[in-house]
Chain A
Amino acid sequence: MVPSRYRVTSRHRETPDTITLALEPVEGEALSFEPGQFDMLYVFGVGEVPISFSGARDGQIEHTVRSVGAVSRAISAARPGDVLGVRGPFGTGWGVEGAEGADIVVAGGGIGLAPLRPVIQRIIERRDRYGRVSILVGARSPELLLFREDLAGWRSRFDMDVSITVDTAGVDWRGNVGLITELVAETGLGPTTVAFICGPEIMMRFVASALLDRGVEPGHVRLSMERNMKCAIGHCGHCQFGATFVCKDGPVYSYDRIAPLLAIREV
């Protein structure tokens, strides 16, 4: 429950309101995590928020943060050399290893691409263990796409398909304009396909529905849920989601487990 001190080693601006921080421990080794898990990032004197891991490299962890409130704004303002508190890792992972042998669909909308980036990195590290890999990305506009260098790298590979769509664009855009669900129709799918989806809840519902319509098994569709997490260990109850707590039973859930809850307005 006590935060460890991590020093900011780099800060990369993704979009006008989103940055990616690389962090290394002030003492000891960086924590290891499973793609899909999250940390509680603490700005001393300001507060603490849950942020998913968006990557790892060279003994450092990466978090991608969008400024939407007081704490995330304070995290976003951190500069190399600043120290943040880190508790974690918490929650369930995507289960990337469990999907070995399957065709993979990764669908990320907006900031939802951040928790999926480690999935893609993990798959690339062990590319021969997976079948066909399709990455579907949605954003509000081309200027608000995250991880543009990564996207360019993934698109240049011959062993995965990357499709990007935006809600609206100027005429210099050469990609798709439309809903991310429309990309599902262009994706090769089968009963063994495993899908990892993260983004606004409405988007996830529609993408999951489109996948199921095309024959993907409900138990093979995984979603990352977001609720108001505080303690991160299932004690405070802030993130209750049906009979579960998102911080310890999630954030990654199998669609067949939570589909009934997604239809209940008050949950």
Chain B
Amino acid sequence: MTTAGIYDLLRELPFFSNLGESALRFIAGCGQNVHFAADEYIFRENQPADAFHIVRAGHVALEIASPDRGSLMVQTVGEGEVLGVSWLFPPYRWQFDAHALEPTRAISFDATCLRAKCDEDPALGYELMQRLAETMSRRLRSARIRMLDLYSHAGTS
């Protein structure tokens, strides 16, 4: 798909809402349209985090392998959501497995390309970091609340 085609897809994604045309075109240069089959692993824990995905359609599980319990799902990511943030920070390695639960379409951004563009245009980098930080904050809150195991503690009679 051409950069112009990726640009059109990015305009439809809530993650990029209200981002200026020039910034979107700049980012689109790092993106490509990708497709994953059901049950395909998009990335694996500890592999190089060389891409950043936004799911356009489908459903992806973030999993972690436990020697005694098998693979455990810690989060699912659906339409319009960010898949993977490990590309942002050294050592740039994935911390979970990403498992497509159904046929999944996504925009995949080359991490090196995107980091270089953020370095080149700090205003754009700040804007993207704000959006990614909001996602990370929301997921951190979700993880913290789930750690409370709320559903196990109801009633005493």
**Cα–Cα distance between A66 and B155 once the two chains are bound (Å):** 9
* Cβ-defined contact, B154 with A111, below 8 A: yes
**Cα–Cα distance between A140 and B148 once the two chains are bound (Å):** 11
Residues A202 and B154 in contact in the complex (CB < 8 Å), given A170-B72, A178-B76: no
Interface presence of A99 (CB below 8 A): no
With a cutoff of 8 Å between Cβ atoms, the chain A residues found around residue B99 in the complex are: 171
* Cβ-defined contact, B151 with A109, below 8 A: yes
* Cβ-defined contact, A179 with B152, below 8 A: no
With a cutoff of 8 Å between Cβ atoms, the chain B residues found around residue A44 in the complex are: none
B45 to chain A minimum Cβ distance, whole angstroms, is 14
Q: Contact string, B3-41, partner A, CB cutoff 8 A, digits 1/0?
A: 000000000000000000000000000000000000000
Which residue of B74, B141, B151 has the most chain A CB atoms within 10 A of its CB atom? B151
**Cα–Cα distance between A12 and B146 once the two chains are bound (Å):** 28
**Cα–Cα distance between A138 and B151 once the two chains are bound (Å):** 9
Interface presence of A167 (CB below 8 A): yes
Residues A226 and B145 in contact in the complex (CB < 8 Å), given A170-B72, A171-B71, A203-B150: no
Q: How big is the A interface, by class?
A: 35 or more
Interface presence of B78 (CB below 8 A): yes
* Cβ-defined contact, B155 with A72, below 8 A: yes
Q: Within residues 106 to 160 of chain A, which ones have a CB less than 8 A from any CB in chain B?
A: 109-112, 138-140, 144
With a cutoff of 8 Å between Cβ atoms, the chain B residues found around residue A168 in the complex are: 72-74, 146
With a cutoff of 8 Å between Cβ atoms, the chain A residues found around residue B151 in the complex are: 109-111, 138-140, 144, 167, 199-200, 203
- The closest CB in chain A to the CB of B155 belongs to A68
**Cα–Cα distance between A170 and B90 once the two chains are bound (Å):** 29
A41 to chain B minimum Cβ distance, whole angstroms, is 10
- The closest CB in chain A to the CB of B139 belongs to A178
Classify the interface of chain A: helix, strand, loop or mixed: mixed
- The closest CB in chain A to the CB of B148 belongs to A202
- The closest CB in chain A to the CB of B152 belongs to A140
* Cβ-defined contact, B157 with A179, below 8 A: no
A70 to chain B minimum Cβ distance, whole angstroms, is 8
Interface presence of B47 (CB below 8 A): no
Interface presence of A225 (CB below 8 A): no
**Cα–Cα distance between A150 and B83 once the two chains are bound (Å):** 33
Interface presence of B149 (CB below 8 A): yes
With a cutoff of 8 Å between Cβ atoms, the chain B residues found around residue A112 in the complex are: 154
With a cutoff of 8 Å between Cβ atoms, the chain B residues found around residue A109 in the complex are: 150-151
Pick from B61, B78, B138: contact of A171, CB under 8 Å: B61
* Cβ-defined contact, B155 with A226, below 8 A: yes
Interface presence of B2 (CB below 8 A): no
Interface presence of B88 (CB below 8 A): no
Instruction: Identify 20 residue pairs between A and B in the complex whose beta-carbon atoms are under 8 Å apart, listed by A's number.
Output: A70-B157, A72-B157, A110-B152, A111-B155, A112-B154, A140-B151, A140-B152, A167-B149, A168-B146, A170-B70, A170-B71, A170-B72, A171-B61, A171-B71, A171-B73, A174-B101, A178-B76, A199-B151, A202-B150, A203-B150
